[in-house]
Chains A and B, each alone.
Chain A
Amino acid sequence: MQWNHFLYFAFPSAVCWAIAAILAFKPQHYRKSVVLTLAGVVIFSLFIVGMWMSLERPPLRTMGETRLWYSFFLPIAGLITFMRWKYKWILSFSTLLSLIFICINIFRPEIHNKALMPALQSPWFAPHVIVYMLAYAVFGVATINALYLLIRKTEKQASSIALCDNLVYVGSAFLIVGMLFGAIWAKAAWGHYWSWDPKETWAAATWMGYIIYIHFRLHKPSEKKTACYLLIFSFILLQVCWFGVNYLPAARGNSVHVYSQNL
């Protein structure tokens, strides 16, 4: 399995997800859209498994490989939200977001590289990155919901911001686990659990952003607009942490977290 096979898996998955997203608007098609989303997820996971086997390492090293996981987890996060809270539009958004990442991978492919430098060869590597990607996907959905709330200003806001809350609790749980796994791994690989490396600094900032959101919501449940802006701000911090540090002049040549030369 190689990157040039990606289209053969991504396209059918995307079609499944898109049809499911459309069907989701009609309550009588609920089951069909769940099954179709799952089918897309299965097809997509075949590619990930294939890549994993042919690379002989988890596909988690380069930006393209992590985008792969992002496009994989988004529909899953969307599906769980859809099944749990029955939001009709959520699948459309998760599909759209996933599609964006798929397109980036198709139009900016990366070289096939098997090598995994010694520091990355650790049992902590896969859980650390996968848990982070899950958190990112959940926060992505929460951010979309916040934007939707700010634009639509519907009467049903009371219930919809509760969706943000739930997603932020779930996302923060993943984020905290990802961060702490990272700390334990850093201790084993570099001798210290926290070194304020640029990536770590921005991870701390992201974590603080979401913790502020949680407490602000508990404190001032009626100030929803401020809460939505906080959520969007936190998501921006997260973007800086994810790929922004690769471009920040302050982090250039200064971060142990920049592994791939071609982004």
Chain B
Amino acid sequence: MWKQTPGYIEGWTICSGLFITGIVLQLYSGKIAPDLLHFPINLISGVLFLIGLLLFHLISIKVKGIQWFAGYAAAVTSLSSLLLLVIIMGLTRQLPSSYDLSRENGFVRTGFMQMTVSWPFILLMLYFLWILGLVVLRRLSRFKWKDTGFVFNHLGLFIALFGAVWGSADLQRLRMTVSMDTPEWRATNEKNETVELPLAIELKAFTIDEYPPKLMLLDNITGEALPKKEPVNVSVETCPFEAELLDWKLEIVKDLPYAAGISNSDTLNYVEFHGEGATSALYVKAHNVTDDTRKEGWVSCGNYLFPYASLRLNEKMSLIMPEREPKRYASDVMVYTKSGDSKEASIEVNKPLSVAGWKIYQLSYDETLGKWSRYSVFELVKDPWLPVVYSGIGMMLVGAVFLFISAPKKI
């Protein structure tokens, strides 16, 4: 259907041309070195791109033939070609962009498994941005108030994408493992190289708040949670507490959030213990309402220091406590900057800390030690182009409101 429409043939031809050029470049020269575009090269090339756009736009006022690039056919074909690459990307497992492909063969060498740094993707992306830029310039050059929504949507998208593409090489993401009470200023980048930072972090305390302990049933032989398709569990919120699991009535009589397991000969007993390495334990009385059997004993999830304890209910199943799920984890830190300032702060998931142009994120901790972890892993991110991207995003949010209002057409 599109074949007969003038304008679309040109569009498909250009996009296929760019795609094939991209593949050839990819096969000959390999992927795009991710840090090719570092400051100031990216800034210079970005400015050149904008100047080029402006020149092209000015020429197109005289040369009618190239106005096609600011029209629907160019927009639809370039978007569709990019969409094709995005779908391929969604269907293939993506490798980290630092992974070396040059020794691989066949399909892998086409770069589709590192789509965002492959030549076909970058070429089509730049072409797409070029068209979007021309579309915006053309409408801006004869702006009327009713175009406000159009400008917010299209210029916003242009700014956000421009910032994301040209800023990507300046984005730094580092990992830093900080042990308790020892200031750390070295971090590692994605290639595992050590980077020294103009700031140091010292971990003062690490805390985890957990969700209430849970109880569930496990098959003694297969170790699977029961019933197989839809396992059931109860969350023990208070103590004493009563609950039912399948045909077992449970009565929780003791809840020790800080417990130590003590084994003497054949029994495992739990006592209150507030020292490092404490685990969580519940004393449960179980009553089977079908055959009237009764069992009681300790159930504990255990940890690196103390064993776990399950309550064997019958030959078929046991009652267990799965590892407790973290609700919140946070690091209390001291941050020192080169200028001699120091600052006390708390960092947790979703609440990064901003210091000297860096954002510091809580990433993980020593999971084998759990709440007794002696270190915290942080991610440090610096993205100088973020304000550009965010202003584009802000404009698009306003644009979405316009899009919403502009919808109800008279039918």
A→B interface (CB under 8 Å): 84-85, 109-119, 121-122, 159, 162-163, 165-167, 169-170, 172-174, 176-177, 180, 183-184, 187-194, 196, 198, 201-202, 204-205, 208-209, 211-212, 215-216, 218-220, 223, 225-226, 237, 240, 245, 248-251, 254, 262
Contact = CB atoms under 8 A, between A and B. Distances in A.
Contacts of A191: 173, 352, 359, 361, 379, 381
B326 A118 contact: yes
Interface in B307-362: 325-329, 348-352, 359, 361
Interface of B: 1-2, 5, 71-73, 75-76, 79-80, 82-83, 86-87, 89-94, 115-116, 164, 171, 173, 211, 230-233, 235, 325-329, 348-352, 359, 361, 379, 381, 383, 386, 389, 393, 396-397, 399-401, 403-404, 406-409, 411
Given A191-B352, A192-B173, A162 B361 contact: no
B211 A220 contact: no
Contacts of B327: 115-116, 118, 121
Contacts of A245: 90
Contact of A196 (B2, B94, B231, B361): B94
B349 A118 contact: yes
A218 B409 CA distance: 13
A228 to B, nearest CB: 12
19 contacts: A115-B211, A119-B349, A169-B407, A176-B396, A176-B399, A177-B397, A177-B400, A187-B386, A189-B350, A191-B361, A196-B89, A196-B115, A198-B94, A205-B90, A215-B72, A215-B79, A219-B71, A219-B76, A225-B1
A103 to B, nearest CB: 16
B108 to A, nearest CB: 14
A84 B93 contact: no
A248 B350 contact: no
B5 A220 contact: yes
B86 A162 contact: no
Nearest to B359: A191
A172 B400 CA distance: 8
A173 B400 contact: yes
A173 B403 contact: yes
Contacts of A204: 86
A201 B82 CA distance: 12
B79 A118 contact: no
B83 A111 contact: no
A121 B325 CA distance: 14
A163 B245 CA distance: 51
Contacts of A208: 79, 82-83, 86
Contacts, number: 150
A183 B160 CA distance: 11
A173 B401 contact: yes
Nearest to B361: A191
Main secondary structure of the interface of B (DSSP, over half): mixed
Most chain B beta-carbon contacts within 10 A, residue among A85, A165, A174, A193: A193
A111 B230 contact: yes
Contact of A163 (B397, B399, B411): B411
A110 B231 CA distance: 9
Contact of B75 (A188, A205, A215): A215
Given A118-B348, A191-B361, A208-B86, 8 more contacts: A118-B329, A159-B411, A162-B409, A174-B400, A188-B352, A191-B359, A215-B79, A251-B90
A226 B411 contact: no
6 pairs of A and B residues whose beta carbons are closest in the complex: A219-B72, A169-B407, A173-B404, A118-B349, A173-B403, A191-B381
A251 B171 CA distance: 25
B328 A121 contact: yes
A116 B350 CA distance: 13
B41 to A, nearest CB: 21
B381 A226 contact: no
A121 B330 CA distance: 13
B219 to A, nearest CB: 16
B349 to A, nearest CB: 4
A111 B217 CA distance: 13
Given A114-B211, A191-B173, A198 B90 contact: yes
Nearest to B232: A111
B411 A119 contact: no
Nearest to B93: A250
A209 B91 CA distance: 16
B86 A205 contact: yes
Given A166-B407, A215-B72, A219-B73, A262 B352 contact: no
B407 A170 contact: yes
Contact of A165 (B92, B211, B350, B409): B409
Contacts of B381: 191-192
Contacts of B72: 215-216, 218-219
B411 A180 contact: no
A260 to B, nearest CB: 13
Given A172-B403, A191-B361, A226 B1 contact: yes
B90 A201 contact: yes
A243 to B, nearest CB: 14
B204 to A, nearest CB: 20
A117 B403 CA distance: 34
A250 B235 contact: no
Contacts of B393: 180, 183-184, 193
A188 B397 contact: no
A4 B352 CA distance: 39
A169 B89 contact: no
